[in-house]
Amino acid sequence: MKFPRMALAAALFVLASPVWAHAFLDHAVPSVGGAVSGSPGELTLTFSEGVVPAFSGVALTSAAGASIPTGKARVDPATPATLHVPLGGKLAPGTYVVNWHVVSDDTHRTSGSYKFTVSP
């Protein structure tokens, strides 16, 4: 049986499409689901591709949902996939939720959330 040429072309196109080209969270510091001893000075979130800091950021809340102010997200030119989010003050021991949203270099929006814990 002969494989239809159009179907083959369509299959190759699907395989070649950049379906993984959106920015997904690869890792973070403090780590996703992890615990740190003492308050971190900043959050870093490293994505699968470069992100645009002007359209990217996080909303940090306590486990109870209270909003916690953060500084403006920024990216070092040398590491465009890593978003740095300074923390204004010390985080008390407890669990925190990071709701992140980014626009990647290909202009696609992605978002997600994770938790980390600050231990005394």
Query: Does residue 101 touch Cu ion according to CB under 5 A?
Result: no
- Closer CB to Cu ion, residue 52 or residue 97? 52
Query: Does residue 26 touch Cu ion according to CB under 5 A?
Result: no
- Closer CB to Cu ion, residue 81 or residue 87? 81
Among 22, 74, 84, 115, binds Cu ion (CB under 5 A): 22
Query: Does residue 84 touch Cu ion according to CB under 5 A?
Result: no
Smallest gap from Cβ 4 to Cu ion, in A, equals 30
Among 12, 21, 35, 54, binds Cu ion (CB under 5 A): 21
How many CA atoms lie within 13 Å of 85's alpha carbon, on the beta-carbon side?
22
Inter-CA distances, 23 with 18, 56, 78, 110, 118, Å: 12, 11, 17, 7, 26
Instruction: Confirm if 50 and 105 have CB atoms less than 8 A apart.
Output: yes
Nearest-5° Cα angle at 33, 32 to 34: 90
Q: What is the bridge-based pairing of β-strands 35-37 and 109-119?
A: parallel
Smallest gap from Cβ 75 to Cu ion, in A, equals 17
Binding region for Cu ion (CB under 5 A): 21-22, 106, 108
